Amino acid sequence: MMGTRRSVQFGDVITGMLVDGVDGTPYVAATLLVDEQLGVRLEVPYITTSDTAAGETPGEWFETKCPPKNLLLIALEGNISLFDCRYSGHTVRHPAGIAVGKITPADVVLQDRKGDHSDPLEVKELRSDIDGLTEWTGFTAITRHPSVDDENRVKKLDIELRTTDELIWTQGQADMALRTTWSCDSTAEGLTINEGVMLHSTFPAPVPVLTHLEEHRKVASLMTFIFGCPITWRSHSVRDQRFTEKRFSQLIKQNTVKEAARPDPTEKQLRHPLASPSQIGSSGLEAWAASYETWGRFIHPAVSALNSPRTTLENVVVNAAVSMEAAGHLIGEVDGENATYDRRRRKTTATFIYRCLARTGWDWSGICESRVGLARALAKNYNTIKHYGRGDFPDPLETYLVSSTATLVVRLLAIRQAAPDATSEFDSGRHFPAYGRLVEDFKNNGLFIKCDGLFAVSS
């Protein structure tokens, strides 16, 4: 009896028979590979010789570089649907005529689908496992019910596992939820319970997977700002009435699957989020999503820098400054910014950065004499890196401190966009570990920023 495959992992090799959905065409042997570097790849062996009929499948797919859009792989452990397939090359061994063609599917679902084989993949529900959701929310699917005796000793422990919607909101047409999930693995050693928090999206009617992921990416970007470290997709799964089973089934998305191979964030990186779920809430998540397109030129460069752990400090400064320039335009004029204008009373890079510092609402006096001086220092470092005519790169230590400051500023701006009415505790900034670490960095290096934007030895 054919089994049901629930998941595939990097390194898996699955062999089966390929179905193209066209009546009368034979099944074709194929192998599905899941690789950390290449993602998902389908390899199809075939023979191409002088006595092979012209246009015979699958040779025709590779000679014309046009495989079927959708394919079904029938394997021993269950059927696998492959969508939006594209030609990725073929190799022919002459004179034997033995060949291997390669196909890359955009989407792979570990389940068979009912209806027209050629229809594009559209689903009503999609969920994503994203770094940090469990740590940020603190939600759990586990409830423990101990039974004790007269001496208060535990005699029995009942464990209840439940999937619940802990936080719900809307993004456009999508109903969004942060939902607890759980699973059990039974082995000879015992029972292992796995739990976590996933991001769910549900549309009124089936939509393309990319439409779901556009909404999910908005939340993933916010999580990057909240934690200030790379936040990665770990897995996706989908559910729709056209699939033969009602359960969620694993979705492998070609343009996100390779992210899952990146290292997990450390416990330390996820220990101190910049804002809590209670500070942001459903209304904050809705506000963030609603402004995402307008604030895109602020969001994308900053997220790119925060999600690139191996990037140089100079790149971090440039990306953060580009984001702050965009945010400065969106924020508009603020009190005190005229001190950053040039001699002709024109706005400068420091002006837009000053607006960002003002928007954070934080008191930055632990690292600088004034907000104007800090804006000038950040702008000067950025412009020196960016412009060839400014001479040598800035002092590496100064660039390190500027990059740390700039990343904190853009993170704060994102939180302000999601939660403009954050608590007074958030306004002060004094009790936040991220600010404390920044002040300590300046003190440990004996530096302070003066009103003119220059670094000076701290007293």
Same domain, 312 and 442: yes
Domain range holding 50?
13-109
Q: Which of 87, 109, 131 is the last residue of a domain?
A: 109
Give, in order, the Cα–Cα distances in Å from 271 to each of 66, 134, 229.
Answer: 49, 11, 11
Q: pLDDT at position 422, please? A: 60
In the chain, what percentage of residues exceed pLDDT 70?
Answer: 94
Residue 100: give its domain's CATH number: 2.30.110
Same domain, 223 and 77: no
Same domain, 447 and 349: yes
Kindly state whether residue 276 falls inside one of the protein's structural domains. Answer: no
Could you report the per-residue pLDDT of 241-253, keeping only the tens digit for each?
999 888 899 999 9
Kindly state whether residue 188 falls inside one of the protein's structural domains. Answer: yes
Kindly state whether residue 374 falls inside one of the protein's structural domains. Answer: yes
328 band by pLDDT with thresholds 50, 70 and 90: very high
Task: Indicate whether 156 pLDDT > 80.
Answer: no
Could you report the per-residue pLDDT of 362-394, keeping only the tens digit for each?
889 999 999 999 999 999 999 999 998 888 999
Domains of the chain: total: 3
d(CA 117, CA 83): 10
Same domain, 307 and 445: yes
55 band by pLDDT with thresholds 50, 70 and 90: very low
Kindly state whether residue 81 falls inside one of the protein's structural domains. Answer: yes
For residue 439, what are its two tokens?
């002040």
Range with the lowest mean pLDDT among 83-87, 164-168, 363-367, 418-422?
A: 418-422
Q: Which of 218, 244, 261 is the last residue of a domain?
A: 261
Kindly state whether residue 267 falls inside one of the protein's structural domains. Answer: no
Kindly state whether residue 201 falls inside one of the protein's structural domains. Answer: yes
Could you report the per-residue pLDDT of 250-304, keeping only the tens digit for each?
999 998 998 888 999 999 999 999 998 988 999 999 999 999 999 999 999 999 9
Q: pLDDT at position 54, please? A: 43
Kindly state whether residue 394 falls inside one of the protein's structural domains. Answer: yes
Same domain, 313 and 369: yes
Q: Say which residue, 76 or 159, is predicted with more confidence.
A: 76
Same domain, 126 and 255: yes
Task: Indicate whether 322 pLDDT > 60.
Answer: yes
Same domain, 327 and 407: yes
For residue 379, what are its two tokens?
């702008």
Q: Which of 109, 138, 168 is the last residue of a domain?
A: 109
Give, in order, the Cα–Cα distances in Å from 277 to each of 74, 139, 359, 418.
Answer: 44, 10, 21, 11
